[in-house]
Amino acid sequence: MFFASDNAGPVHPQIMDRLSAANADYAMPYGKDPIMDEVRDSIRTAFEAPEAAVYLVATGTAANVLALACYTQPWQTIFCAKPAHINEDECNAPEFYSGAAKLTVIDTDDKMTPAALRAAIEKQTPGNVHGAQRGPVSITQVTERGSVHSLEELHALTAVAKEFDLPVHLDGARFANAMVALGCTAAEMTWKSGVDVVSFGGTKNGCMGVEAVVFFDPAKAWEFELRRKRGAHLFSKHRFLSAQMAGYMQDDLWITSAEQANANAAYLAEGLRKAGAEFLHEPQANMIFARWPRAVHRKMHEAGAKYYLWNGPLDGDENELVAARLVCDWSASREGIDAFLSHF
Amino acid sequence: MFFASDNAGPVHPQIMDRLSAANADYAMPYGKDPIMDEVRDSIRTAFEAPEAAVYLVATGTAANVLALACYTQPWQTIFCAKPAHINEDECNAPEFYSGAAKLTVIDTDDKMTPAALRAAIEKQTPGNVHGAQRGPVSITQVTERGSVHSLEELHALTAVAKEFDLPVHLDGARFANAMVALGCTAAEMTWKSGVDVVSFGGTKNGCMGVEAVVFFDPAKAWEFELRRKRGAHLFSKHRFLSAQMAGYMQDDLWITSAEQANANAAYLAEGLRKAGAEFLHEPQANMIFARWPRAVHRKMHEAGAKYYLWNGPLDGDENELVAARLVCDWSASREGIDAFLSHF
Amino acid sequence: MFFASDNAGPVHPQIMDRLSAANADYAMPYGKDPIMDEVRDSIRTAFEAPEAAVYLVATGTAANVLALACYTQPWQTIFCAKPAHINEDECNAPEFYSGAAKLTVIDTDDKMTPAALRAAIEKQTPGNVHGAQRGPVSITQVTERGSVHSLEELHALTAVAKEFDLPVHLDGARFANAMVALGCTAAEMTWKSGVDVVSFGGTKNGCMGVEAVVFFDPAKAWEFELRRKRGAHLFSKHRFLSAQMAGYMQDDLWITSAEQANANAAYLAEGLRKAGAEFLHEPQANMIFARWPRAVHRKMHEAGAKYYLWNGPLDGDENELVAARLVCDWSASREGIDAFLSHF
Amino acid sequence: MFFASDNAGPVHPQIMDRLSAANADYAMPYGKDPIMDEVRDSIRTAFEAPEAAVYLVATGTAANVLALACYTQPWQTIFCAKPAHINEDECNAPEFYSGAAKLTVIDTDDKMTPAALRAAIEKQTPGNVHGAQRGPVSITQVTERGSVHSLEELHALTAVAKEFDLPVHLDGARFANAMVALGCTAAEMTWKSGVDVVSFGGTKNGCMGVEAVVFFDPAKAWEFELRRKRGAHLFSKHRFLSAQMAGYMQDDLWITSAEQANANAAYLAEGLRKAGAEFLHEPQANMIFARWPRAVHRKMHEAGAKYYLWNGPLDGDENELVAARLVCDWSASREGIDAFLSHF
């Protein structure tokens, strides 16, 4: 009954096995390990991007802010939706890594619209030395509210960015969950949709702590390496990042694991729906935002369920509907879900 | 025959076991895992510092620069020896994390002397708004040249710092190797010697990628947490950092592992000495700087030995003495050392 | 017919005279000149703040960002209204000087309401390491839209800040214009209203290029001096900043000059009203936002009038109402205003 | 008897006149004033550089750090001599403006030698992600010790920089004094000698507070404008910077003023020599470093003379030789110098 986050579950056994296998003898440090060669190849293949520059870091915030920093000048502004992780959950790391650039936050509960993005960009007049200059656009897929941009929606947003010659970053902390939900390829959801650099998440989908940064244009490769080292994110025993990512890519674990997570969430959503819960958004990947009476929340919490109440305390009117955020990872068991639902 | 660095060896089985054991079920993310409670207790006990604030990060550079940033204002200068890791091997990360402070580099081949430190501090006149202001003193133990400050030497350096009311940071990437070499306690080598904050290394001594930052005065705790998050160094699946450090502290593995590494280096040094190598410094912990004829280096490299040539290329006069840096970790085998020595 | 900005007018003769008078012999550099003693005294007297720390810089942006930086940690967010100069007109200087802090922009066309400020502050949960931490509140007086906060409005905003223990900065680029409009004292509009530090503008009100930063609590004095030097804003021939500010304070020129500017704007507004212009806001100090037919704008521009069209180009439907921003300084002549109005 | 610094003297009347003349009517702000066009033309002519990008700021530190920031990445290191203003007198402003780059300080009492510069550059191995990367070379002319690089010396230093493809910055706070001492042209001392960007000083040579930054390759122009604004160094009433610089360039005042300053220093040096002073360096421009008995220093100080004791207090052994730094500007009078010398 743990639905607090997909960042709190166990590591997939296939990845643990790769870690053990990597733990033999010596390996060259700092990314020169041979497993990294395997990783680079498998990610390039997965993204149909034979020239892509591929790097590993240990946290999703590191992936986001290092990727963005390569495309942001300190006098620019990054365009993103209000709930974006880079805006609400990274304690000014994007500002820190970009050398004190600004975020222009597009006011929305979930996705940006192309019109709102265009309006925000147009407001920053080019050639006006007084205002922040236009910088990259960052899109989150799966969004922080659990919804998934369709390929059309992605295209529409990146088309606006391209019209103004702005680079596009995709925060893919839940990349595989979105891809599986859309039934598309990694290429379609990135460079074929106008994305220049992606934070390709592993941690939330069965890894221990690894994310890839994939640049479709390798021109930024050396700058990234310098920024990663300067940010203290270059691992000496890098092979253990490589091994995780190798295990994640091996036999499409990244895909099957996301399928399992999404299926778990769908099963949970179906149960909630039957029990009468109201959905804030229709769940599309592995996150659910729904509300039901406070009295039921109390029973669930007393029984040890873990999840976030989204807009209200546990104390108050018994009958009031209180929203919850529930996240499933690959490891959530049907028994746990059933036990949780039994409290309705 | 791998002596390139102690950051390229395998993880100790006891630590791998703790990682596996930690991989059950869910654990609260971001350092709220119960294993972190065990870690905090064991480090406080090891350092005889029941109030210490203890945090984990994944790289030695992160430990150094986050620790220093908590004690450095952007208009200050950090005092350190020229070969310090923070000066030569961190690609401006100390400058980045401190908000663009300066490093005042004390010109030395290895250790700072108290007199040189004092001269450097005195040169920065207090109240002179034009110059950098005096900031923390950072000491490396084991030094980057493989030598170990005696407790008297440490005291003498920190006494200078204290005289000017400056905080002291200890870069202990090889903390246990130094402690074992001195035969002292962790407390004696830190707060009893005037150290305020220590980077307590794990990675080079048998861990996968974990370092602790230990503040003897917990006043900086919350600032550290914010700096760590803002630097993108807070792990969501933090229990896997905790598990490494728990395994490292368990049954004094950190000590026995360092004893093994130092003993391996002593064995290697003894063999080199018998073979006629000249030592640049007398080896004290697990690093050796010595020179012997280039022709021998060539044979060793052809046989697959891995180590750094310190001051010259592999090509050149056969008889010229060329220096090498050799580092042993806990896992170096006597067979490997013997095989290496057989090339003399 | 120049109403583009109060930053484009001439320097008042009284200030030019002080510059000439200061230009004799030698004076100690870097703020040690005796004229600075006069300035400090006169500003402390004007603000009824005998302990205040008083410093001079040459630009309004420097005053704002250096003042704010003294109250902002890099992991905090500064709360301000959307049109604030620090948000829209300083090219990320606040982010730069604060070490990469964030601005939380309160969505409004002009003033923040206390409720909106409270909501923005409350959204940043204390103790949540993932989000930006709560930082200072910055209020602009006169606002960038030409309106003036009443003392009650100022109190209401600072009361919210104080409730959360947040410091308050006042961007007073047009400080005197607001004070004269309110008919209050400098103390009433600052520390008696809960303001901790003020950017006290001189440049727009008859100086050449000087602004004072006034800290009512002198605890930040030395930090400010270091930040000013590090920002490259400490003048060697500082006496020429001092002389300007001395001339500005002398015989209440700062007040009479603002009275003149406000009276000029009132005269212009009266003429515009009679001519049929519509006001976006009721003008309160020396700025006017009003609209009238495009055909009239064209005539004015052809006749050489200088001012900003606020929301539309000069080309288009002749009868459409187009808004303009008009600013008067102390030097605007009635003849110029009459000439301008004659084009209606 | 004021020889403390050339930054403490009066403004030349020709420049005051230009300030008064500029103070009529309105002028477009932020560098769009027509006087700036005159300035740009006159500096381009003086430097025989018709394409140069020319900008004005108010302080020498601003000129240095903004110029350098345009050529420095945050992971690079700037090479300079130990006594350089950017190293010793700018309170970490170069680090701040470059986004936390490092300074590699070449240990010398005065000028760098080409060999020392080369050694420092070579120590930073290209492609080594752990160390700082090679960045610009900054040369000070006149040096902080009052000596002047010959054109051959300049060439030799810039040739080393060029060999490694590194840009060259010239800190010309006393540019005209050096040029006059060498009897060369501005072009010969800059782009013809391999300099890419120069801080062209005005303040110390008769201006109130203005320095030009001259880029011989205009590719950095827009970046400079953004960095200047973001650094809060863009003046709204910019015409008063322009007017100073226009007055400075007019009728070669910058040259005649420097000739006067150098001649004053030569006259003073001659007097000192006759009185028996020992020179630390042979004076070449407008600065003198010399020593004489402490008893004489005391008499001079008692008589009101102002200058810096260079290496010792005023109190101590009467007969000990104590060094002094003496600086003359254009306005130093022969009477003052004679009065000063009379105390020997």
Q: What is the pLDDT of residue D219?
A: 97
Task: Convert D275-306 to b/e letters by CB count within 10 Å (16 or more is b).
Answer: eebeebbebbbbbbbbbbbbebbeebeeeebb
Q: What is the pLDDT of residues A188-246, one digit of tens each?
A: 999 999 999 999 999 999 999 999 999 999 999 999 999 999 999 999 999 999 999 99
**Chain C residues inside the 8 Å CB shell of D24:** 10
Task: Confirm whether the ipTM is greater than 0.90.
Answer: yes
- pLDDT class of A29 with cuts at 50, 70, 90: very high
Contact, B300 vs B340, CB < 8 A? Answer: yes
Q: What is the pLDDT of residue A299?
A: 94
- pLDDT class of A25 with cuts at 50, 70, 90: confident
Residue D43 one-letter amino acid: I
Q: Is the pLDDT reported for residue C312 higher than 90?
A: no
Pairing of strands D168-172, D197-201: parallel
Closest-CA distance of chain C to residue D115, Å: 31
Distance CA D52, CA D55 (A): 10
The pLDDT > 90 percentage for chain D reads: 97
Out of C103, C129, C132, the one facing A102 most closely (by C-beta) is C103
- The verdict on whether omega for the bond into residue C142 sits within 30 degrees of 0, i.e. cis, is yes
The pLDDT > 70 percentage for chain A reads: 100
Closest-CA distance of chain B to residue D4, Å: 16
Out of C73, C130, C227, the one facing B229 most closely (by C-beta) is C130
Substitution target in C65, C134, C226, C235 with the highest count of B β-carbons within 10 Å is C226
Contact check, Cβ <8 Å, A236/B59: yes
Averaged over D273-278, what is the pLDDT?
96
Could you give the domains of chain A? 13-253 (3.40.640.10), 259-341 (3.90.1150.10)
Q: What is the pLDDT of residue C243?
A: 98
Closest-CA distance of chain A to residue D243, Å: 22
Q: Is the pLDDT reported for residue C313 higher than 90?
A: no
Residues from C contacting A (CB-CB < 8 Å) are 74-77, 88-92, 95-96, 98-103, 105, 107, 129-133
Contact check, Cβ <8 Å, A130/C88: yes
Averaged over A314-328, what is the pLDDT?
94
**Chain C residues inside the 8 Å CB shell of D28:** 4, 8
Bridge partner residues of B259 (DSSP): none
**Chain B residues inside the 8 Å CB shell of A209:** 58, 235-237, 240
Out of C75, C100, C131, the one facing A100 most closely (by C-beta) is C100
Nearest to C88 by CA among C181, C174, C16, C171: C171
Out of A88, A101, A107, the one facing C131 most closely (by C-beta) is A88
Q: What is the pLDDT of residues D105-117, one digit of tens each?
A: 999 999 999 999 9
Residue A143 has, within 13 A of its CA and on its CB side, a CA count of 24
Contact check, Cβ <8 Å, B229/C99: no
Query: C35 CB contacts (<8 Å, ≥6 apart)?
Result: C22, C27, C239, C242, C243, C246
Closest-CA distance of chain A to residue C202, Å: 20
- pLDDT class of A36 with cuts at 50, 70, 90: very high
Q: Is the pLDDT reported for residue D25 higher than 90?
A: no
Closest-CA distance of chain C to residue B27, Å: 18
Q: Decide: pTM greater than 0.95.
A: yes
Q: Which residue has the tokens 């959530």?
A: A332
Averaged over B46-62, what is the pLDDT?
98
Out of D7, D226, D306, the one facing C236 most closely (by C-beta) is D7
Q: What is the pLDDT of residues B197-210, one digit of tens each?
A: 999 999 999 999 99
- pLDDT class of A1 with cuts at 50, 70, 90: confident
Closest residue, chain C, to A97 (C-alpha): C100
Closest residue, chain A, to C130 (C-alpha): A89
Q: What is the pLDDT of residue B147?
A: 96
- pLDDT class of C267 with cuts at 50, 70, 90: very high
Residues from A contacting C (CB-CB < 8 Å) are 74-77, 88-92, 95-96, 98-103, 105, 107, 129-133
Closest-CA distance of chain C to residue D229, Å: 6
Contact check, Cβ <8 Å, A227/D75: yes
Contact, D178 vs D141, CB < 8 A? Answer: yes
Q: Hey, is D158 helix, strand or coil?
A: helix
Closest-CA distance of chain C to residue B97, Å: 10
Q: What is the pLDDT of residues C128-144, one digit of tens each?
A: 999 999 999 999 999 99
Contact check, Cβ <8 Å, B58/A204: no
Mean pLDDT score of chain D: 96
Closest residue, chain D, to A101 (C-alpha): D230
Contact check, Cβ <8 Å, B226/C99: no
Q: Hey, is A183 helix, strand or coil?
A: coil
Out of D77, D92, D107, the one facing B132 most closely (by C-beta) is D92
* Cα B333 to Cα A23, A236, B61, B107, B304, distances in angstroms: 16, 21, 28, 37, 15
Closest-CA distance of chain A to residue B261, Å: 15
Q: What is the pLDDT of residue D344?
A: 85
Q: What is the pLDDT of residues A37-73, one digit of tens each?
A: 999 999 999 999 999 999 999 999 999 999 999 999 9
Q: What is the pLDDT of residue A35?
A: 98
Q: What is the pLDDT of residues B157-191, one digit of tens each?
A: 999 999 999 999 999 999 999 999 999 999 999 99
**Chain D residues inside the 8 Å CB shell of B91:** 75, 129-133
What is the number of other CB atoms lying within 10 angstroms of the CB of residue A44? 16
Q: Is the pLDDT reported for residue D313 higher than 90?
A: no
Contact check, Cβ <8 Å, B88/D129: no
Out of D89, D98, D130, the one facing B91 most closely (by C-beta) is D130
Out of C129, C225, C227, the one facing B226 most closely (by C-beta) is C129
**Chain C residues inside the 8 Å CB shell of A77:** 92
- pLDDT class of A312 with cuts at 50, 70, 90: confident
Q: What is the pLDDT of residue B165?
A: 98
Three-state SS letters, chain B: CECCCCCCCCCCHHHHHHHHHHCCCCCCCCCCCHHHHHHHHHHHHHCCCCCCEEEEECCHHHHHHHHHHCCCCCCEEEEEECCCHHHHCCCCHHHHHCCCCEEEEECCCCCCCHHHHHHHHHHCCCCCCCCCEEEEEEEECCCCCCCCCCHHHHHHHHHHHHHCCCCEEEEECCHHHHHHHHCCCHHHHCHHHCCCEEEEECHHHCCCCCEEEEECCHHHHHHHHHHHHHCCCCCCCCHHHHHHHHHHHHHHHHHHHHHHHHHHHHHHHHHHHHHCCEECCCCCCCEEEEEEEHHHHHHHHHCCCECEECCCCCCCCCCCEEEEEEECCCCCCHHHHHHHHCCC
Contact check, Cβ <8 Å, B90/D130: yes
Closest residue, chain A, to C103 (C-alpha): A102
Closest residue, chain A, to C77 (C-alpha): A92
Averaged over D177-206, what is the pLDDT?
98
Contact check, Cβ <8 Å, B99/D100: yes
Averaged over D170-184, what is the pLDDT?
98
Q: What is the pLDDT of residue B25?
A: 86
Contact check, Cβ <8 Å, A30/D225: no
**Chain B residues inside the 8 Å CB shell of C225:** 129
Closest-CA distance of chain D to residue C115, Å: 31
Contact check, Cβ <8 Å, B129/C226: yes
Residue D14 one-letter amino acid: Q
Closest residue, chain D, to A31 (C-alpha): D129
Contact check, Cβ <8 Å, D30/A129: yes
Contact check, Cβ <8 Å, D102/B92: yes
Out of C16, C62, C90, the one facing D20 most closely (by C-beta) is C16
- pLDDT class of C311 with cuts at 50, 70, 90: confident
Q: Is the pLDDT reported for residue C198 higher than 90?
A: yes
Out of D75, D227, D234, the one facing A230 most closely (by C-beta) is D75
Out of A30, A99, A129, the one facing D99 most closely (by C-beta) is A99
